[in-house]
């Protein structure tokens, strides 16, 4: 079966790990908006984790969208894992959340 993950958007922009990180960067305690657009039929259990922490978890009727806001209290590059379980199969994708102490100005 092909992955049900069709598009990932971070801060309302299609996520691409090769894009200039300024597009996705946030300061401490400012929320990121993550949207995961899913295809297929049935229901999917979707979660967003960083390390051992589950930041958000939802059941999504397919086709549908997993939508959440997350924020971080420390400046760092946090690696998030999007986990999608459909019909006993698990799919993963990764998103980097870049968090800075101060606003980034060019």
pLDDT band at 102, cuts 50/70/90?
confident
CATH number of 5-100: 2.60.40.10
Structure token digits, residue 26 = 């946030």
pLDDT in tens, 69-97: 999 999 999 999 999 999 999 999 999 99
What average pLDDT does the segment 53-66 reach?
98
Mean pLDDT of the residues in the chain: 93
CB 66 within 8 A of CB 35: yes
* pLDDT value, residue 18: 83
Give one word for 12, left, alpha or beta, with left for phi > 0 and alpha for psi -120 to 50. Answer: left
Cis amide linkage into residue 52, ω under 30° from 0: no
What average pLDDT does the segment 55-78 reach?
97
Query: How many Å apart are CA 8 and CA 16, to the nearest integer?
Result: 9
> Does position 106 have pLDDT exceeding 60, yes or no?
no
Name the residue ranges covered by the structural domains of the chain.
5-100
What average pLDDT does the segment 15-42 reach?
91
pLDDT band at 20, cuts 50/70/90?
confident
């Amino acid at each position: 079966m092909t992955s049900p993950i069709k598009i990932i958007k971070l801060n309302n922009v299609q996520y691409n790990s090769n894009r200039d990180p300024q597009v996705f960067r946030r300061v401490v305690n400012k929320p990121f908006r993550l949207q995961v657009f899913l295809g297929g039929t049935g229901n999917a259990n979707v979660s967003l984790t960083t390390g051992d922490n589950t930041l958000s978890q939802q059941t999504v009727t397919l086709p549908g969208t997993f939508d959440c806001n997350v924020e971080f209290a420390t400046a760092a590059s946090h690696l998030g894992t999007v986990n999608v379980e459909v019909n006993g199969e698990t799919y993963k994708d990764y998103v980097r959340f870049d968090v800075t102490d101060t606003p980034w100005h060019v």
